[in-house]
C-alpha cells in the first residue's frame, strides 16, 4: 500500500513527546495514514498508541500500516472531541493533534477536497454525516455562504463569490469541483486570479471547515485531553492556519494555572523540511506540559490584570 502524506515536524514532535524507556500511552487524535504513530511506535518500544480518525477510509490505511505493532496500537473511528468527552480510560502521557486534512484527502479520496481534480463536491470526513459540500453550496442562503467564506476562508471577496454561487444555481445545481472553481474564478477581479494561490483555495477551505465542524471541535477536545492527562504529561498541537492556531494559543494561555507552555513562540518547520515538503510551510507546533500541582489562582488574576493594563 502506498502512503501519500508526509508527516510534518517529525523530529520536533518525537522529542517533545518522549517517554524514554517508560511504558506510556499516546493518543494520536489525528491518525491519518498513521505516519506520526508509526514513528512513535518504531522509536519507543514501550509506548502504546490509540489513534483516532473520523474518516474510515484513511483509518483503514493506518490500521494496515500499524498492524505489525499488534496490541500496542488501537484505532478508533471517532471525532476527537467526542472521544475526549466520553473518555473514561487510564490517564494518558501524551496527546498529539496534527490538525486539518491529509494529502490522501486531496489526492486519493475522490471527495472533491481540491479544485485541482474534477470530482463530486462532497468534502465529508465522516461518510455517515448528512451534510456535504454540494448541499451547502446549493441550499445555504447568500448571506450564510458569504459569512462562511469570510469567516472560515478569510476570503476578501466572499460576498462576490456567494452572489455568484447563488446566481449560478438558479439555472443548475453545482455538483462538481470544476464548476465551483470556475464560479469563483469568474467572480473575483482579474488581478486576483494570478496570485500565488488559486482564487478558489480559500473558498474550498471554508466549505471543508463548515462541513466537518473543524474549528468547533478543537477547544472541547483540548479540554477533555487536559483532564485525562497525567501530571507531567504533554500535549502537542500542529496547526496550519491562524483560524486553527488562535484557539489553541488562547486555550493554553487560559489554562496556565494547570499547564506549562513549553513553546513560548510556536515552532515552525526548518527550511530543509519546507523544501522537502512544501505543504509544511504553514505548520506551527505548540506544546504544553501539565503541572504536578495547580498554580495559585491569585497569581493568574494578577497576570490578567497586568495584561489589561490596570
Ligand atoms: C493532517 S492529517 C494527520 C496526518 C498524520 N499525523 C500522519 O502523520 O499521517 C489529519 C487527520 O485527522 C483527521 N481529522 C481531522 N479532524 C478530525 C477530528 N475532529 N476528529 C477525528 N479525526 C479528525 C483527518 O481525517 C485526517 O486524516
pLDDT at 304: 47
Determine the distance separating the centroid of ligand 1 and the alpha carbon of 62, expressed in angstroms. Answer: 11
Which of 212, 235, 251 terminates a domain? The answer is 212
Is the shortest distance between the CB of 53 and ligand 1 below 6 Å? yes
Task: Say if ligand 1 is within 6 A of residue 101 CB.
Answer: yes
Q: Is 244 in the pocket of ligand 1 (CB under 6 A)?
A: no
pLDDT score of 98: 98
Tens of pLDDT, residues 242-284: 999 999 999 999 999 999 999 999 999 999 999 999 889 999 9
Residue entry with cell 483503514: 60
Asked whether residue 2 is domain-assigned, the answer is no
**C-alpha pair distances (Å), 133 with each of 11, 31, 140, 181, 205:** 36, 23, 10, 13, 11
Query: 187 CA to middle of ligand 1, Å?
Result: 32
pLDDT given for residue 308 in this prediction: 43
Say if residue 206 is in the same domain as residue 223: no
Task: Work out the widest C-alpha separation in the chain, in whole angstroms.
Answer: 64
Grid cell listed for 141: 442562503
Using one digit for the tens of pLDDT, what is the confidence trace for 47-91?
Answer: 999 999 999 999 999 999 999 999 999 999 999 999 999 999 999
Instruction: State whether the Cα torsion 66-70-71-77 is positive or negative.
Output: positive
| Domain end among 177, 212, 247 | 212
Domain contains 249: yes
| Domain count for the chain | 2
- For residue 5, being part of any structural domain is answered with no
Rounded Cα gap, residues 73 and 50, in angstroms: 6
Asked if residue 222 and residue 196 are part of one domain, the reply reads: no
CA distance 136 to 121: 10
Ligand 1: does its nearest atom lie under 6 Å from the Cβ of 35?
yes
pLDDT confidence of residue 298: 72
| Residue 187, domain extent | 106-212
Considering the domain architecture, whether residues 142 and 274 belong to the same structural domain is answered as no
Q: Are residues 111 and 204 both part of a single domain?
A: yes
Please give the torsion angle defined by the CA atoms of residues 148, 8, 21 and 72, in that order, rounded to the nearest 10 degrees.
60
173 closest CA partner among 121, 119, 117: 121
Domain CATH for 84: 3.40.50.150
Same domain? For 95 and 224 the reply is yes
Q: Are residues 86 and 220 in the same domain?
A: yes
Q: Does residue 4 sit within a domain?
A: no
Asked if the structure places residue 297 within a domain, the reply is yes
In angstroms, what is the span from residue 80 Cα to ligand 1's centroid? 9
Pick the closest to residue 10 from 280, 245, 266 (CA basis). 280
Q: Which residue from 119, 37, 125, 52 is spatially nearest to 87, judged by alpha carbons?
A: 52
Ligand 1 atom nearest to 80, measured from its CA: 20
pLDDT given at position 173: 97
Is residue 102 within 6 Å of ligand 1 at its C-beta? yes
Residues 84 and 231 in one domain: yes
Does some domain include residue 55?
yes
Q: Are residues 174 and 229 in the same domain?
A: no
Of 168, 189, 212, which one is at a domain's C-terminal end? 212
Q: Are residues 126 and 205 in the same domain?
A: yes
- Which pLDDT does position 310 carry in this prediction? 36
Strands 259-261, 284-290: pairing kind:
antiparallel
Whole-model pTM: value is 0.94
36 CB near ligand 1 (under 6 Å): yes
Pick from 81, 125, 222, 241 the residue to mutate for probing ligand 1's pocket: most ligand atoms within 8 Å of its CB: 125
Same structural domain for residues 37 and 166? no
> Cell digits for 19?
517517554
In a domain, residue 1? The reply is no
* Residue 270 within any structural domain of the chain: yes
Ranges in the chain, pLDDT < 50: 304-310
Amino acid at each position: 500500500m502506498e502512503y501519500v502524506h508526509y508527516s510534518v515536524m517529525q523530529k520536533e514532535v518525537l522529542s517533545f513527546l518522549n517517554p524514554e524507556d517508560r511504558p506510556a500511552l499516546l493518543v494520536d487524535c489525528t491518525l491519518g495514514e498513521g505516519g506520526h504513530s508509526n514513528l512513535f511506535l518504531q522509536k519507543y518500544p514501550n509506548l502504546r498508541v490509540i489513534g483516532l480518525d473520523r474518516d474510515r477510509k484513511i483509518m483503514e490505511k493506518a490500521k494496515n500500516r500499524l498492524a505489525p505493532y499488534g496490541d500496542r496500537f488501537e484505532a478508533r473511528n471517532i471525532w476527537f472531541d467526542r472521544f475526549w468527552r466520553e473518555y473514561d480510560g487510564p490517564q494518558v502521557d501524551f496527546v498529539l493533534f496534527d490538525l486539518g486534512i491529509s494529502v490522501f484527502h486531496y489526492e486519493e479520496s475522490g471527495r472533491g477536497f481540491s479544485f485541482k481534480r474534477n470530482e463530486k463536491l462532497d468534502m465529508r470526513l465522516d461518510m455517515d454525516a448528512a451534510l456535504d459540500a454540494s448541499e451547502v453550496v446549493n441550499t445555504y442562503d447568500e448571506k450564510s455562504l458569504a459569512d462562511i467564506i469570510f469567516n472560515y476562508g478569510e476570503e476578501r471577496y466572499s460576498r462576490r463569490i456567494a452572489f455568484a454561487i447563488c446566481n449560478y444555481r438558479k439555472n443548475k445545481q453545482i455538483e462538481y469541483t470544476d464548476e465551483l472553481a470556475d464560479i469563483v474564478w469568474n467572480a473575483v477581479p482579474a488581478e486576483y486570479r494570478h496570485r500565488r494561490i488559486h482564487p478558489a483555495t480559500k473558498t474550498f477551505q471554508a466549505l471543508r471547515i463548515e462541513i466537518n465542524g473543524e474549528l468547533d471541535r478543537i477547544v472541547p477536545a483540548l479540554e477533555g485531553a487536559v483532564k485525562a492527562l497525567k501530571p507531567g504529561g504533554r500535549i502537542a498541537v500542529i496547526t496550519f492556519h491562524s483560524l486553527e492556531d488562535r484557539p489553541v494559543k488562547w486555550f493554553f494561555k487560559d489554562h496556565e494555572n494547570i499547564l506549562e507552555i513549553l513553546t513560548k513562540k510556536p515552532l515552525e518547520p526548518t527550511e530543509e523540511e519546507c523544501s522537502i515538503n512544501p505543504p509544511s510551510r504553514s505548520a506551527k507546533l505548540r506544546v504544553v506540559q501539565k503541572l504536578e500541582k495547580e498554580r495559585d489562582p491569585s497569581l493568574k488574576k494578577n497576570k490578567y490584570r497586568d495584561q489589561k493594563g490596570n
